[in-house]
Structure formats: C-alpha cells, structure tokens
Amino acid sequence: MGSEEKKISEEIEQLRSEIRIHNEHYYLRDNPVISDAEYDRLFRRLQELEAKYPELITPDSPTQQVGAHPERQFSSVQHAQPMLSLNNVFSEQELVDFDLRIRKILGKDHIEYLAEPKMDGLAISLLYVRGELRVAATRGDGRTGENVTGNVRTISSIPGRLLVGNPPESIEIRGEIYMNKADFQELNRRQSLAGEKLFANPRNAAAGSLRQLDPAVTARRPLSMMCYGIGAVQGGPKFQRQDEILDYLAECGFNVNELRSVESDISGCMAYFRRIEQQRAQLPYDIDGAVYKVNSLDLQNELGTLSRAPRWAIAHKFPAEEAVTEVRSIDVQVGRTGVLTPVARLLPVTVGGVTVSNATLHNQDELNRKDIRIGDTVVVRRAGDVIPEVVRVVLEKRQEGSRPFSILERFPNCPVCGSPVRQVEGEVAIRCSGGLKCPAQIKQRLWHFASRKAMDIDGMGEKLISQLVDSGRLKRFSDIYRLKERDLMDMDRMAEKSAQNIYESIQNSRKVSLSRFIYALGIPQVGEATAHALSQHFCSLDRLISADLESLTKVPDIGPVVAAEIRQFFDDSDNRKDIDTLVEKLNIQEPESDSKAVDS
C-alpha cells in the first residue's frame, strides 16, 4: 500500500468509527451529540472516499448499512422487507444530477415524481395480518427492529383494524412516528414542572416516548403517525403508482400527508420544495426537507435498490438550522413572576438564513446539564419560530480556566431592581424577590395582561408598556383604565390616530369573560386552560377569591402546587387592592350556572 493510499485508508477508518459512535447516540440513545449537518458532512465524506476507492469498501461500513443495531430490552422483529434509508441532496444542482442519472438508466425525457414532506420523526413498520395490527417495529438496523407493538397500540391515529373490506392477507405499512410542535412544548412544560428531563426537540421526544418499556408511559405522550409507503404485501389490491398506494393507506384509516403532490418532472419538485420551505414554520410538525419518489412502481422496480437506499427516491434537505458560535456572556431576563431566565449572548451567527445573537438557556438545571460556560464554543439551533437554543458545547474548544456558570453567584441581586434573588427549596426557578417593586416584573405582568388571549388590548405592546411604566403612568393593572388619550400621545413616536385606537381598545376590553380575566391576572402556573377550568368551576370571581386549598384542588387538573400559587396570589394585599379597583372598572362576564352553588 502506498503512503497516499494508507492515509486514505486511515481517514476512512476514522470516519467509520466516528459515524458508528454517532449512529449509536442517534438511534439507540435518542441523544445525538452532533448536529444533523455535521453528521451529514462526515457521512458524505466517507461516501465520497469510498466512491473514489471502491476497493476499500467493506460490508460493515456504515454506508452499507442503515443505522445502528437494535437495543436489547425490546424483543427483535425481522422486517419482511428491509427498511431502507434515503440518499440526501442539499442543492438544486445535486437534485438535477439525481434526475439525470435515473433518466439515463431508464432512457426517459422526464420522470413523474410523488413529492411529500420529509417528516422529522422516526421510522416505524406496522404488520397487519388479515386486517388486524399484529406487530409494530422500529427500523433498527434496517433488517431487524425492536418490537414496540404495545406502545404503538396506544397511538390513536393508528387503526387497530384496517378500515377497508377485503384487506390483504398481510401488509407492512411504513411511516414516521412524530410529535406535533405544540404537543412537544406542552410535554416539556409538564416535564419541567415535574422536575423531569427536558427533550431537546420533538423528534427526540417522539423517540423517547415510543421506546418506553412501559406502554402506560407512551399512552400519556401525544404521538402521531404519518404513513408514506408499504413494505412486503401478500394479496390485496394491485398498485401501479406510489400515489395510489398513499390513497389506499388513507382509505385504510391512516394519516397520509395532505401536502403530497404528483409532479410531472424535476422542475415541479423544485417548485414544490420552495412551497413547503415557505410553509415550514406554520406546519404543526417538524419537517427537514422533501422526499421525491419515482411515481411509477414499474420504473421503481427497474431502478432497484442499492445496499442502504433505493435508487428511485431522494431526500431534498433544508439547509442546516444549526450553526457553531461563541458564548460572549450570560445575562438573565426577569419574567412576570420574577423568575430569572438565563440568556446566552452570542457572537452573531446566521442560522438557516436568520442572524442569531441570543439563545435561551432555560434555567440553572439546563445550564448545569449542558454545562454551558462563558467563552464556550457552542452549537445553536433555531427550530421554526421558536427562540434559538444552545444544543451543546463543543468541549474540544473549551478554554482553560473557564468555570461553570451559577446564576445565584453571578446575580445575587436582581439586575433590574436590585432586590435579593432567591431559590425556593426544591424548586428549579430562581426568582427576584422585588415583586411589584421590580419594573421588569411590572412590565412583563402588564404585557401579559394586555395580550391577545388575555384582555386583548390591541396596540399595547412591549415597547409602549415599557415607556408608560418608565414615565410613572403605569404600575398596576387598574392604572391602564385610568389612562387618558393624552397620556398615550405623550409617548415616543405615537401618532394621534394610534393613540385614539389604543384608547378605544382599552375601553373595548372592559367587557371580558371571567376566564380571560383570571388568565390575564398572570397567576403563576395558571395558563389559559386552568383559567377556563377555574371559571367553569366557581362561576364567580368572589367565590374563586375566597376558595380554600381543598376546594381549589377539586377543580380538574389542579394539584396542590397550583392551588397554593392561586391562594398565595389572592392573599397578597397589593393584588387584592388592584383586583378590587379592576372589578369596579370592568364588566366581568361570569358563566351561567344552575345554582352557582359549588362548595367553596
């Protein structure tokens, strides 16, 4: 072996062992340590070298396999037809090359494709025998997966029985298990309240939820499935095209992507890609690109499959939404209940086309878990319209002498009002003790009070509230209803017409439902749903205010912690004074009840 070839062979081995480690983190631990983009770079470099030096390809190379080997705890299931992966492209040029390659093999001018979003979840295979769900298995290494049937049976969008008459003798249904973005946020909120670990993204949450050994845990997790194809089939209808398969799956009772579309050639696929890229942030679930499949099943067969991916399909991925940058400092923001949220100030970096210079660090527990320090090089991620997050620290680049960051040590006093900062025993949150003396808390509380789902005062945004507080015109909620048009007009860059409109919105907001009013008060841990439940249960503000802990815990979904927060809020004399004034100024609509006689 020449020295050049030896070097290549060493690089290949190095790449393979790195990729194997990352496969294990990704597939087995649901805890990737590098970004998808970094992983793709490693993988592509390996593919490139192996293409150049085919004599160095070995059957155990990650390029010849799909994923890592399945975990032990679940029993194994052999897929009747292997579950393949997809090759990726990242640019229109690479996509054109893909189309050209297959048109050459098939001798065609243009090819019809079925285009659909690439769901960012985890692959699943469902075996139905004579219409009944028998086995559900993860992808595993592509040939053998984990038996997760008990868990899959808890997912409501998966039918236990195919909804068609005369179902096939047996059929493998393929698709993606995922979690909606809103469900993911809610799950993390619950995890955080229960002091459990937070999931990094909806994909990890879906994977972690599906691979629970106890199906009762999975049942409490909001999982869904989107179907995109079939594996081995015996009997049943004969299909000519991919889109027919998808229509059939929809008839069987599965979710099939509504955004699927038949495109008459590759330029149609490009236009499709741009369309879904536009829609991406508004979609209820995460996608990481588009998938195009040759629509004719005969042509799919003719093209065939390479060892790990079919030749007739390709994934067109969005540009990386992750980037590497540096933490310049760590600040804290004071929220409406006084909680200090650490924020990383970053060296500005472009992530998926947007400049990011701040990232939330959530709380001290998350800071400790990720061990983020000032001066660290970090990977940041921006997912849709969510606030950017630090995914992990690049430890190899950590500077000597750096120290773990402690909020309490760095900020013994609130950076806004100077009051001492406290951590209640057993709580993650660190709070400013200034209460209504702290302008940050006042501003955040007022902003929440005026927000759309609360009192819905159009035009009362963060900037205006900040100016009104700083000029001494606003402090309590009730002060809003003392404002004159003149007060508003005195504010910076406020036109007469805008001041009139805002003044009118304030007047219009006086008539409000009890449920919105309770939500607007911003009682810690009382969100919209809890506010609604309280309003329905007590039907009157007076009754709610005088409810004791025992009667509060009788309200559905209210436990002792939330009940204590509610009691504490109404026991505060400042809060009570403000509410009394508000009651005089507002027209609070209480729900009708037969007797209004709940025990309080």
Catalytic status, residue 118: yes
Compute the least distance from the CB of residue 549 to ligand IVH, in Å.
48
- Which residues neighbour 18 within 8 Å (Cβ) at sequence distance 6 or greater? 42
Choose between 293 and 543: whose C-beta lies nearer to ligand IVH: 293
* Pair 338, 112: CB distance under 8 Å: no
Q: Are 325 and 380 in contact (CB under 8 A)?
A: yes
R_g of the chain, CA atoms, integer Å: 29
Q: Which two tokens stand for residue 259?
A: 């955004």
Which residue's Cβ lies closest to ligand IVH? Answer: 123
* Residue number, 229 or 524, with CB nearest to ligand IVH: 229
Find the shortest distance in angstroms from Cβ 44 to ligand IVH.
14
> Which residues have CB under 8 Å from 173's CB, separation 6+?
125, 126, 127, 128, 227, 230, 231, 249, 252, 254
Contact residues: ligand IVH, CB under 6 A: 84-86, 116, 118-119, 123, 176, 228-229, 291, 310, 313, 315
The distance of closest approach from Cβ of residue 507 to ligand IVH in the complex, given in angstroms and rounded to an integer, is 51
CB 384 within 8 A of CB 412: no
Shortest gap between Cβ of 75 and ligand IVH (angstroms)? 21
d(CA 553, CA 226): 38
For the chain, how long is the longest CA-to-CA vector? Answer: 92
Could you tell me which residues come within 8 angstroms of residue 97 by beta carbon, excluding any fewer than 6 positions away? 89
Name the residue nearer to ligand IVH (CB basis): 44 or 336. Answer: 44
The smaller minimum CB distance to ligand IVH, of residues 42 and 56, is found at: 42
CB of 256 or CB of 327, closer to ligand IVH: 256
In 374-472, the DSSP E strands lie at 377-381, 389-393, 421-423, 430-432
The distance of closest approach from Cβ of residue 94 to ligand IVH in the complex, given in angstroms and rounded to an integer, is: 15
Residue 27 or 503 with smaller CB distance to ligand IVH = 27
Residue 222 Cβ vs ligand IVH, minimum distance, rounded to whole Å: 19
Q: Which residue has the tokens 């027209």?
A: 587
Given 118, 181, 293, 443, the catalytic residue: 118
Q: Which residues of 496-521 are buried (b: 16+ CB within 10 A; e: fewer)?
A: eeebeebbebbeebeebebbbbbbbb
* Separation between Cα atoms, residue 389 and residue 200, nearest integer Å: 9
Q: What length is written for the chain? A: 600
Would you name the residues annotated as active-site residues? 118
